[in-house]
């Protein structure tokens, strides 16, 4: 039955095409994604609750996971133009030009380095991507200097590698490897990695590699784990919030190795001085798309006529995330599973409390479902995409889409937490 549902999910993703964008793309995508998500949920529940699975189940999950991604890369319309920025950054580096120095629309570099500059988003600011991502962009651009498809296929490979890493981690923590279905068949990474071509797939793989290397030492990170963690931090930045967990377990050696690796990756880009942070400043200073609590706080402060409300909201959001990280660091327990839990709970706090909250950011949180498929988290993998891409269907109902998407997610998360606390208290009384 689960295999039939996997095939049905593939048919639903096929219906999102053709891959060329047209005015009806959003309708087809939302419809196909929703059906694929429903099939995925039913299949994952069946696999998780099955008392006994055939020995070939895991192989079938992996094969269908690849098939779903192949369907999406061929049929799903492009969900982003970010990969044109990747191409431009890579070509600039290969030409000996620092991508942090120029904006893509700067007259000095528009031609011949960037013939596609007109279709890039945020072409008026320098790159925001950290050094490890830039190094990857340069390597891929050197292989295929004018072909954006190389990025989509490369990120698909990293995503498949993440599935294998998750299987190894599940085994290391004594969990059934078939539970990888909660990530492998989820439409969110399938569509955002292939049709969106987002570098998050690269960063998540590096973070999972860091966890897996730590798992080989019963959850105690060593130098190789620190190197993978440093690369993950400099691939997208989300992983920086997991550094305290690795540092507490691995001590000063982990911090020293990670810091040295970061310094080596950063060194080639330091020549631009403050321009290194121009794009990042724009990102943190203005973007709050699709956020939940961040949007609510900013909206309330604005309604109360508080001066500098966005900056205050950003400070409060950052403080809340750091408080969660400190609490998770303090609550650390021995073993790999505790490290995995803390890592992805911290990333969930970043996605839910921070801004912007874009669908591809949720890729960093989804591995948590392989261990703890909380209903709110599972639903979030649907609503975050529906409310974001639903803007093309209902452009005048942005706030309504946010409320409709986030309210049920938070209700389920709070309810699940309350249920867990009640059961925990009952067991302690018994």
pLDDT digits (tens, 9 = 90+) for 11-33: 999 999 887 777 789 999 999 99
Q: Is the pLDDT of residue 117 over 90?
A: no
Cα–Cα nearest to 153, from 93, 210, 201: 201
Distances (CA, A) of 198 to 26, 55, 270, 330, 385: 19, 34, 25, 33, 14
Per-residue pLDDT at 309: 95
Contact, 10 vs 152, CB < 8 A? no
Q: How far apart are CA 171 and CA 258, in angstroms?
A: 27
Which stretch of 118-127, 343-352, 373-382, 402-411 has the lowest confidence by average pLDDT? 118-127
CB proximity list for 230: less than 8 A, separation 6 or greater = 257, 258, 259, 261, 262, 265
Q: For 134-173, how does the pLDDT look when each residue is reduced to its tens digit (9 = 90+)?
A: 999 999 988 876 677 889 999 999 999 999 999 999 999 9
Tell me the backbone φ, ψ of residue 251, rounded to 5 degrees.
75, -160
φ/ψ of residue 334, rounded to 5 = -65, 155
Is 111 or 3 the better-scoring residue by pLDDT? 3
Name the token pair of 4. Answer: 């039939």
Residue 429 has pLDDT above 80, yes or no: no
What value does the mean pLDDT take over residues 344-367?
A: 97
Q: Measured in Å, how far apart are the chain's first and last C-alpha atoms?
A: 39
Arithmetic mean of pLDDT over the chain: 92
pLDDT at 109 over 90: no
Q: What pLDDT band is residue 269 in, cutting at 50, 70 and 90?
A: very high
**Mean pLDDT throughout 402-423?**
93
Per-residue pLDDT of 294-307, as tens digits, reads: 999 999 999 999 99
What pLDDT, in 10s, does the model give residues 79-107? Answer: 998 988 998 899 889 989 999 998 888 87
User: What tokens appear for 22 in the block?
Assistant: 């047209």
How long is the chain?
Answer: 430
Q: Residue 36 has what pLDDT?
A: 98
* Residue % of the chain over a pLDDT of 70: 97
How far apart are alpha carbons 160 and 230 in whole angstroms?
Answer: 21
pLDDT at 46: 95
pLDDT at 70 over 90: yes
């Amino acid at each position: 039955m689960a295999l039939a549902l996997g095939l049905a999910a593939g048919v639903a993703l096929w219906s999102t095409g053709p891959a060329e964008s047209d005015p009806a793309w959003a309708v087809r995508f939302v419809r196909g994604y929703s059906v694929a998500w429903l099939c995925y949920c039913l299949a994952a529940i069946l696999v998780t609750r099955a008392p006994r699975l055939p020995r070939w189940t895991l192989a079938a999950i992996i094969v269908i996971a690849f098939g779903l991604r192949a369907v999406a890369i061929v049929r799903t319309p492009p969900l982003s133009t970010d990969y044109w920025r990747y191409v431009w950054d890579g070509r600039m580096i290969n030409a000996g030009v620092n991508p942090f120095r120029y904006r893509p629309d700067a007259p000095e570099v528009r031609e011949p380095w960037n013939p596609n500059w007109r279709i890039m988003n945020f072409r008026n600011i320098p790159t925001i991507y950290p050094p490890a991502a830039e190094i990857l962009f340069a390597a891929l651009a050197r292989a295929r200097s004018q072909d954006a498809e190389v990025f989509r296929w490369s990120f698909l490979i990293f995503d498949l590698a993440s599935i294998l890493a998750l299987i190894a981690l599940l085994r290391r923590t004594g969990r059934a490897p078939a539970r990888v279905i909660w990530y492998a068949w989820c439409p969110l990474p399938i569509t955002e990695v292939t049709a969106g071509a987002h570098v998050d797939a690269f960063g998540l793989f590096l973070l999972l590699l860091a966890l897996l290397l730590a798992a080989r030492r019963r959850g105690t990170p060593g130098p190789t784990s620190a190197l993978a963690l440093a690369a993950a931090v400099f691939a997208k930045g989300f992983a920086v919030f997991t550094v305290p967990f690795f540092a507490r377990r691995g001590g000063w050696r982990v911090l020293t190795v990670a810091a040295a690796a970061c310094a080596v990756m950063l060194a080639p880009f330091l020549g631009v001085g403050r321009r290194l942070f121009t794009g990042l400043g724009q990102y943190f200073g203005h973007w709050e798309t699709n956020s939940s609590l961040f949007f609510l706080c900013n909206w309330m402060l604005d309604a109360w006529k508080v001066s500098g409300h966005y900056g205050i909201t950003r400070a409060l959001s950052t403080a809340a995330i750091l408080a969660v990280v400190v609490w998770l660091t303090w609550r650390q327990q021995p073993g790999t599973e505790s490290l995995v839990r803390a890592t992805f709970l911290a990333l969930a706090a970043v996605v839910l409390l921070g801004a912007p909250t874009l669908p591809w950011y949720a890729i960093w949180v989804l591995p948590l479902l392989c261990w703890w498929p909380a209903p709110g988290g599972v639903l979030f993998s649907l609503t975050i995409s529906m409310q974001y891409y639903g803007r093309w269907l209902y452009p005048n109902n942005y706030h309504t889409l946010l409320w409709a998407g986030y309210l049920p997610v938070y209700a389920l998360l709070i309810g699940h937490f309350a249920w867990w606390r009640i059961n925990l208290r009952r067991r302690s009384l018994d």
